[in-house]
Structure 1
């Protein structure tokens, strides 16, 4: 039975995806693959026998390990990786045993795994964000001229188009795609530092060994040990938390606009979905609501990663061991949010008629009338007159006409329909730009 509800058979689907789980579920084999890559690079430079490297590669399979022995040795020695080392040594013939984990440290192993995690999770999030961005652009183009109330402080304000609202989402998602693409080279790096970062164990071959080691794993060479420089991990976590926050902003809009008294948007729901076990009429915004939940968790976990930047001296276990818990949390929360958001946007149901109907219930033309009156009376005088008119029992046109500030025919033209050419132009500009290219 899982210790955490989020890892249980009933609820795990809400907190991860199969592709994300694979990144973390294969952690043990990935660690072994890192040790294989290290041994191979060392053999190329003549630091260990080639035969030993070959035997390590042959036997380093997670399914062959005695995991109970590995766990027991880890507890007995109070060392993070001695259990794994000794478990692998038991699988190897005698000559090769001495060359397992040769000159490496715990942090070399775990930080290199972080580099792989950040590379792979980053790609998954990019894939889902790219899908979301494409759907948003199509939705914006379709609703370029669909008028609705723009809302500020939760209240109806001046008219916008739904297409304009959507491109504000798309533009923000596009910036995240650029951040993920630009940051990948910084995050997707290996670690081979040795005891205090100067690779003394491998002198004078340290830098060449690190380069070969990273290349074998498909990672960039950081050029410098980064045992106490945790900004890469903090940046990755922060960007993912920002991604999750943007997706929560989209989710919050759907959540609010799905309320029956507004009813302008709704989620696509499965026929078997049950909104409430006691109120069968309800159609709960499960996906949009959950995006906010995931964003809260992502932000909380990312703050732990930023805390890690204050580690001391050349190595500080307080910093990077906290990352062992926080990095998977932010990756799973943001990665799951990206997958859910892609499905949410793709299936979003838009009620354009209800948007127009809701707009018609408001004094939507007040901004346009204020602008026109300001040209003739001055902005602040016009503002005063508008405030007086809006606090009468009469409609806006009648109240202003009776005060003599404008001709009724002119007022009627100003309030006939929303003027949203600039909104449409901004939609066109964002749609024309398309989806940013993803660099890998």
Structure 2
């Protein structure tokens, strides 16, 4: 049985996806692959025998390791990877055993794994965001002229269009796609630093070895060791927490607008979905709500990664061992959110009639009336007149007309219908720009 509820058979689907789990479930084999790449690069430079590198590649299979022995040796030696080293040595013929993990450190292994995780998780999330972004653009175009209440402080304000609201979502998601693309060039790097970062063990071949090692793994060469320079990890976590926050903003809008007293948006639900086992009439916005939950966890984990930027000297286990817990957490939370958001947006049910009905029940025209009166009376005098009329008169138009502050024909024109040409133009601009990937 899983230690954490979020990893249990019943609930794991809410906290991860099969693709994300594969990245982390393959951690041990990925570590072995890193050691194979290191040995191959060392053999290419003549630092270890070619035969030894070939034998390491042949035997470095996670399924062949005695994990009980590896765990026992890790506990017995109090060293993070000595159990793995000795477990792999047991699989190798004698000459090759001395060349396992040759000149490398724990951070060389785990930071390089981080580079692979950040590369692969970043791509998975970017792919989901690209799909969501395309759906948002289509939704914005479809509802370019669907009028609804714009709300501030939770209260109905002036008119907007639903297409405008969606366009703000799309624009923000598009910026995250760019952030992931640009950031991936910084954080998809390997680590080969040695004891204190200067690769003294491999002198004078250190820089060349690191370049070959990173290339074999499909990672960039960092050019300088980054054992205590944790900005890449912090940036990755921060960008992912921002992605999750944006998706939570979208989710919260659906959550609020699905309330029956508003009833403008709905999550699509399957026939088998049960909203409540005690209140059968309920239709809960489960996905929207969960996006907010995931964003909270992502922000919390990202803050730990930012803390790691403050490290001591050339290596500091306090920082990067905390990352071992926090990096998977932020990756799983943000990655799951990105996956769930694709289905939420694709299945969103929009009640355009209810949007219009809700707008008509509010004093939607007050901003336009204020603008018209401001041109005639001055802005602040017009505002005072409007506040007085709204306090004292049941009907704004008749109240203003009775005060003689505006021509009835002007009042009729100002309150006839919302004028949202600028909102529509902004929707058109966002849609015309298309996806960041298409622009690139």
Q: Give the TM-score taking structure 2 as reference length.
A: 0.99
Distance in 2, Cα, partners of 1:396 & 1:272 = 48
Distance in 2, Cα, partners of 1:409 & 1:190 = 71
**3-state DSSP of counterpart to 2:151:** strand
Does structure 1 residue 354 correspond to structure 2 residue 354?
yes
Give me the CA root mean square deviation.
1.0
Distance in 1, Cα, partners of 2:112 & 2:270 = 41
1:191 Cα deviation after fit = 0.1
The 5 Å alignment of 1:185-224 reads 185-224=185-224
Check whether the contact 1:241–1:330 (CA below 8 A) recurs between aligned residues: yes
1:392 Cα deviation after fit = 2.0
Aligned to 1:17: 17
Check whether the contact 2:251–2:287 (CA below 8 A) recurs between aligned residues: yes
1:131 Cα deviation after fit = 0.5
Does structure 1 residue 261 correspond to structure 2 residue 278?
no
**3-state DSSP of counterpart to 2:392:** coil
**3-state DSSP of counterpart to 1:42:** helix
Distance in 2, Cα, partners of 1:438 & 1:183 = 18
Aligned to 2:136: 136
Distance in 2, Cα, partners of 1:430 & 1:99 = 56
The 5 Å alignment of 1:38-437 reads 38-437=38-437
Deviations 1:117-150 (A, max 9, x none): 0000000000000011000000000000000000
Distance in 1, Cα, partners of 2:241 & 2:229 = 20
**3-state DSSP of counterpart to 1:394:** coil
Distance in 2, Cα, partners of 1:396 & 1:355 = 22
Equivalent pairs counted in the alignment come to: 440
Any gaps of 5 or more consecutive residues in structure 1? none
Consecutive aligned runs of 4 or more in structure 1 exceeding 2 Å deviation: none
Check whether the contact 1:197–1:227 (CA below 8 A) recurs between aligned residues: yes
1:393 Cα deviation after fit = 3.5
Deviations 1:130-189 (A, max 9, x none): 011000000000000000000000000000000000010011111111111111011000
Check whether the contact 1:182–1:439 (CA below 8 A) recurs between aligned residues: no
Distance in 2, Cα, partners of 1:383 & 1:45 = 79
Check whether the contact 1:190–1:220 (CA below 8 A) recurs between aligned residues: yes
Check whether the contact 2:433–2:439 (CA below 8 A) recurs between aligned residues: no
Deviations 1:271-323 (A, max 9, x none): 10100010000000000000000000000000000000001000000000000
Check whether the contact 1:74–1:80 (CA below 8 A) recurs between aligned residues: yes
**3-state DSSP of counterpart to 1:160:** strand
1:406 Cα deviation after fit = 1.1
Q: Give the TM-score taking structure 1 as reference length.
A: 0.99
**3-state DSSP of counterpart to 1:114:** helix
Check whether the contact 1:294–1:337 (CA below 8 A) recurs between aligned residues: yes
Deviations 1:27-76 (A, max 9, x none): 00000000000000000000000000000000000000000000000000
1:409 Cα deviation after fit = 2.0
Distance in 2, Cα, partners of 1:439 & 1:425 = 20
Deviations 1:239-278 (A, max 9, x none): 0000000000000000000000000000011110100010
Distance in 2, Cα, partners of 1:221 & 1:439 = 28
Distance in 2, Cα, partners of 1:244 & 1:230 = 21
Any gaps of 5 or more consecutive residues in structure 2? none
**3-state DSSP of counterpart to 2:156:** strand
Distance in 2, Cα, partners of 1:334 & 1:175 = 16
1:439 Cα deviation after fit = 11
